Amino acid sequence: MSKFINQRRTFVKSTIALAIIALNPQGPVNAQSSGRVFRIGNQKGWLSILKARGTLEEKLAPLGVKVTWTEFNAGPVQLEALNVGSIDFGDVGEAPPIFAQAAGAPLVYAGATVPRPRLEAVIVQKDSPIKTVADLKGKRVGYNKGSNVQYFLVKLLEKHGLKYDDVHSVFLPPPDARAAFEKGAIEAWVIWDPFLASAEITLQARLLANASDIVKNRSYYFTSRSYSEKNADVLNIAIEEVNKIDQWVSKNKSAAVTELSKILGLDKTVLDLYIGRSEFGTGPITKEILGEQQIIADTFFDLKLIPKKLNLLDAAPFNLQPKG
């Protein structure tokens, strides 16, 4: 089994590296020859607004920094890209950094959002006989392996007297999981926004349980150890600009819906639901926040989902804040 996993990781890393090269044929070496480069991997969300506006490029131009962007549909793939040296910065949920650190990725936390528990949930078909979390026992539950929703599922089942292996986990990335959900190949789907809102609006999926009072569901911004040591100024500006977007969206939700609709090509009703249940604010990493991540890492180790115990301080930024 371990041989198979190692072969799969090698294949995934090679595939990602080739994909990034195809998107950016000049490559990182040429980009750096004329100055510093900041290669960002992003998912559909706040970073999409930052990318569309170009304000980060404006802020970094005086420093001679070139910004490039690559979009991903989930956090684990972003962190594989970091591990093979294809990106310098990205946004993920709670769990992907744990798996990445366990796999030896040179991960450093760069920033974190406030908790956003309502942005992930378990959904079922509108006419599903599944009425409670306890009804998930023995059912096929689809979700993206290594994503924040995996930890949410673990803790949700635990709260309702079930074990992680009481359900049949079906590992699928969001697009494939949606297709499987529509066809009835999985009986429940654990997913995050805006995929969650889209399924509720367009598929009339029924929300079985969200993460409120289960997990915090922060989003994290990450970088590599080598990049953080040489580009602290770039990273500080990036986190500041992300927080500016956060604060703007919190005060201009209707305008944000319109802007994101154009950027992402999603219906405004979907984005209304997504933004309406979000929380806003991004800041530096603290020891308290890394303590939250330590609990997740310990949980995954106890479940044998990661091969070794982790010390989250190994992924701490140089400017770690003493408290929240």
Q: Domain ranges in the chain?
A: 2-116+218-264+279-315, 117-210
**Residue spans of beta strands (DSSP E) within the chain:** 36-42, 65-71, 89-92, 107-113, 120-124, 140-143, 168-171, 188-192, 206-210, 220-224, 282-283
**pLDDT value, residue 79:** 85
Mean pLDDT of all residues in 227-245? 94
Q: Which CATH class is domain 117-210?
A: alpha beta
Structurally, at CATH architecture level, domain 2-116+218-264+279-315 sits in 3-Layer(aba) Sandwich (3.40)
Share above pLDDT 70 across residues of the chain, in percent, rounded to a whole number? 88
**pLDDT value, residue 178:** 97
Would you say the CATH fold of 117-210 matches that of 2-116+218-264+279-315?
yes
**pLDDT value, residue 323:** 57
Q: For residue 234, is it left (φ>0), alpha (ψ between -120 and 50) or beta?
A: alpha
Residue 46 pLDDT > 90, yes or no? no
- Which single residue is written with the structure tokens 């942005």? 119
**DSSP, residue by residue, 285-310:** -BHHHHHHHHHHHHHHHHTTSSSS--
CA distances from 39 to 195, 253, 277 (A): 25, 28, 30
